[in-house]
Amino acid sequence: MRPVGHRLFVFAIIALTIAAGGNLYAGRGDKAGTSAAPELLIPVGGRGIALGGSSLAIAMGIDAIYWNPAGLSRSKYKTEAMFSHMSYIADIGVEYVAVGSTFEGFGTIGLSLKTLSFGDFEITTEDNPDGTGQTFSPTFVTMGLTYSRLLTDRISVGITTNLISERIDRVSATGVGFNFGVQYSGFVGVGGLNIGVAVKNIGPAMKFDGPGLLREASATDVLRPASFYKIEAASDELPSIIEIGMGYSYQFEQQNVFTLSTLFQNNNLSDDEYKFGLEYGYDNTFFLRGGWSIAQETVTDSYIYGGTVGAGVHYGFSGLDFSFDYAFRAAKFFGGTHVFALALGF
C-alpha cells in the first residue's frame, strides 16, 4: 500500500485538475495580449524573479503567496511581512506588500496588495484628438487573501482569492480570480526533492463599464433630439495558467547549499513557457541566483523576457530576521526590470 502522503498528493493534483476544467487550454500564442487583468502575471519578490520564475516547488513563507500559496504554511516564523518594489517595463512601477501569520491548529493566513503606477496620461477625445488639457492616471489594484495548511509534514496546500480592480479615466472593471496550489517535499523519499503544482487566475471574465462608454448621437429617420448611447465593451478571460515544477537542494560542508528549480507553465492565452533557476546559499546568509525562461513557440521578437540574476542577504538578531533580495530581469526593447524586496520574520 502506498504511503498516505502519496495518496493525498495524488488527490490534490486531481482536485486542481477539476478546478481548472474548462478554463485551461493548450498554449494560444495567437491570442497573446487579449486577456483581462494582465497584471496578475506580473511577478513580485526578489528571490522568485531572480530564479526565472521557477520557484513553484521551493517557495516558502510570505514569498510563496504569489508563486504557490501552498508554500505559505511552510514559513519558519509565526508572522512574516514583505515589501517589494519593481521598476517594470515602460516606466511602470509595481508595489507589493504582504503579511502572513500562522494560527496553531488552523493554518496560515496571508493578506497581499499589489498596485501599479503608470503616471499621468493626457485625455483625448474624438473632438480633441490632441488632448483636452486634462490628465488621468490609471489605477490597477489586486488584493489577495490566502489560506494555507500543512496536511502532513510533507504535503501542503493553499488557496488565494484575488479581488481585481482596474480604473482608466471614467471606465472601470472588477473581477475575482482564484489560485490553488500544492507542494510535496521529500518526494519519493528523496531528501531535498520538492514537487509543486498550481492552477492560477481561475475566475469569470471581466469587462469595462462606466460613463466613459457613453456617446452622444442622433438616430436617423427619427424625430427626436440627440441622445446618449452606451458602447457595450467586450468581456475578456483572465490569464489562467497551470504550472508544474520541481526543485532539488543539495547541501555540502554544512554551510553550502545549491538549489536547482524547474517549471513548466501552460497558458490559456499565450505560448507555454519553460523556466529554470539556480541558487547558491552560504551559511543561510548570502545568496546568489540566476534563471532563464523560454516560450515553446517563440516567434522572433514575440517573447521579450530572457535571463535573470539576483542576490540576497539574510540576517537575524533578537528573534527578528531580515531578508533583502535584489533581482534583475532582462527584457527586449525596455532595458530590463529591477526588483527590490525586504522581508521580516518573527
- CA proximity to 339, closest of 40, 45, 24: 45
pLDDT of residue 28: 52
Q: How many CB atoms lie within 10 A of CB 240?
A: 23
- pLDDT greater than 50 at residue 78: yes
More confident residue, 11 or 187: 187
The predicted-structure confidence for 233-265, as pLDDT tens digits, reads as follows: 889 999 999 999 999 999 998 899 999 999 999
- pLDDT greater than 50 at residue 104: yes
The predicted-structure confidence for 19-34, as pLDDT tens digits, reads as follows: 555 444 445 555 556 7
Number of domains in the chain: 1
Q: DSSP string covering 158-216, please? A: EEEEEEEEEEETTEEEEEEEEEEEEEEESGGG-TTEEEEEEEEEE---B--BSGGGEEE
**pLDDT confidence bin for 1, thresholds 50/70/90:** very low
The predicted-structure confidence for 119-162, as pLDDT tens digits, reads as follows: 988 888 777 888 888 898 999 999 999 999 999 999 999 999 99
- pLDDT greater than 90 at residue 276: yes
CA 251 vs CA 189, 191, 248, 259: distances in Å: 17, 10, 10, 9
d(CA 96, CA 112): 7
pLDDT of residue 22: 47
- Sequence-distant (≥ 6) Cβ neighbours of residue 21 within 8 angstroms: none
d(CA 337, CA 330): 7
- Mean pLDDT computed over 214-232: 79
- pLDDT greater than 70 at residue 16: no
HEC profile for 286-315? EEEEEEEEEECCCCCCCCCEEEEEEEEEEE
Question: What is the share, in percent, of the chain residues with pLDDT greater than 70?
Answer: 89
CA 190 vs CA 186, 195, 200, 249: distances in Å: 5, 11, 28, 10
- pLDDT greater than 70 at residue 183: yes
> What is the CATH classification number for the domain harbouring 10?
2.40.160.60
Q: How many CB atoms lie within 10 A of CB 183?
A: 34
- pLDDT greater than 70 at residue 15: no
pTM for the structure as a whole: 0.88
Which residue segment(s) compose the domain that 299 sits in?
Answer: 4-345
pLDDT of residue 307: 94
d(CA 265, CA 246): 12
pLDDT of residue 130: 83
